[in-house]
Structure formats: structure tokens, C-alpha cells
Amino acid sequence: MKKTPTTPTARPAAAIGDSANASPRAAIHPSTLAIDIGGTGLKASVLDSAGQMISERVTVPTPYPCPPATMVRTLVKLVKPLPAFDRVAVGFPGQIRHHKVMTAPHFGTEIWSGFNLSQALAEKLGKPVRLLNDADIQGLGAIHGHGLELVVTLGTGVGTALFRNGDLMPHLELAHHPIRKNKTYNQYLGKAAFDEVGKEKWNRRVRRMIDLLENLINPDTMYIGGGNASKIVGQLPPHIHITSNVQGILGGFRLWEPRLVEPQSNGQ
């Protein structure tokens, strides 16, 4: 199966928000700590002012149980070995609204709903933080900004993100929508499903998902990423591309483009 290049051309941010306390150097050449929160692992790296990684990713298994305090404490410890940074971008596997976590299916929505993760991390790290759904950030790293682009992530669960000419569309948690026989995308295609049914049957399910999303959304381009994307076998249509899981880190740079999301917590 042919794979597309995994490192997109970085797009410079037009301006830097949330940086009232930033140095003149940081305002012109900011470095970004990018954190990718997954149901299986937590990953982080630092990106330079062009959006390129200047350090190897650090990673640890996601702790369970994982209430907010445990998550914040684990992330602060995770990023300690990394180089200095001026701002932070965080991808979280759930619905994000008004800077807060609305849903957290992997960690327990009842204990996470309403938690301001961006503010909590800003207070601990002393830097401005922006927070977005993890599939949306994966998409920011993968898309090319032309037409209707759909991003699907296959990992512990399933994530989706939709873009039109580079603009992020409102986030839909399709992972919780039934796809077949009352099973949600998460139950049908997540890691547990892969372990249960095996690679061959799981791949047939992936093809069924692709057909469904093609009919539902009719994207010009589809990108499939996440930790299990590498397990897809066979030829895909030319407008469907497998993309590297590292885009969940690289997309953190574009999260700081002012047109994408409003400024969030500034650590004051």
C-alpha cells in the first residue's frame, strides 16, 4: 500500500496569542510544547518556530484510573526532560468546549466534564496553553488545506475531524455513533475490537467504515492516522492516505494560528 509523506510543510502562525508575558524573542520565534493525550499513551515533544520537532518524542503509558489531577501530574513529569518552550498545545481524546473538557470516554466523563485542563496545565507549566480534540490536532498536522478533508484516527478508540479549505469544522464525536448492529465506532474499530476479531476481520470493518463515511461526507481527501492505521492492508483509493501518528504532535504548531481557536489560559 502506498503511503503519503508523513511530515507536512509547516505553515507559519500569523501572530501569537496569549503571550502577554512572552519575551520579544518568543513573540517572533516561539517554540511550542506539543502534547498528545491518548487512551494508551501520553506523548510530547517541542517544536521550533517553523513547526519542526527539535527533540525526540517522550512517551509514557496512560495511567488508569486517570482523574484530572493524575493526568496533570503525569504530564508535568513527562515534559520535564524536554527543551524550553514558550507555549503549549494539547490534544485530548474528547469533546472540548470553552477551554474545558466536556467528554472523556477513556477516562470517565463523570469526573472530567467541565474540567479546565488548559488552565490547570498553564498554572503548572507557567506558559499559555491551548487545548483541542486530539483528532482535530492530528488533522491540523495532516491536511493540505484544499477542499473538504476528513481525518480519521484509529487507536484506542476512533476519532474524526473535518476541514474545509483548511478551516476546522465543528467537532462531531462520531466515535459514539452506531455504525453496525448497535456498536459504536469505538466498539467496532477500537483497539479492543482489533484484539478480539483479528487483523483480517478488522480490516473488513475499516473498509465498511470508509464506505460509510464516503457516502455520509463525500470528502475530497481522507487521511487515516492513529496507532492502528499501520495495520490497514491492501490498496486504498487514491484520495485516501495513511498518515503518521506523529501528526498528533506536529499539528500542535498550527493550533496556535489565531484563526483556528480563541486564546485560552495564559498561566497568570
Q: Could you report the per-residue pLDDT of 213-258, keeping only the tens digit for each?
A: 999 999 999 999 999 999 999 999 999 999 998 999 999 999 998 7
Closest residue by Cα to residue 268 from 80, 129, 172:
129
Q: Nine-digit cell at 244?
A: 503518521
HSE-up of residue 216 (Cα within 13 Å, Cβ side) = 12
Task: In whole angstroms, give the CA distance from residue 67 to residue 64.
Answer: 8
CATH number of the structural domain spanning residue 216: 3.30.420.40
Is 234 a domain residue? yes
DSSP states along 123-182: HHHSS-EEEEEHHHHHHHHH--SSSEEEEEEESSSEEEEEEETTEEPPP--GGGSEEETT
Its pTM stands at 0.85
Is 212 a domain residue? yes
Whether 41 and 73 map to the same domain: the answer is yes
3 state SS of 64:
coil
Instruction: Judge whether 198 and 217 are in contact, CB under 8 Å.
Output: no
Domain count of the fold of the chain: 2
Residue 122 lies in domain? 24-136+248-254
Q: Could you report the per-residue pLDDT of 138-161, keeping only the tens digit for each?
A: 999 999 999 999 999 999 999 999
Whether 97 and 41 map to the same domain: the answer is yes
Is 266 a domain residue? no
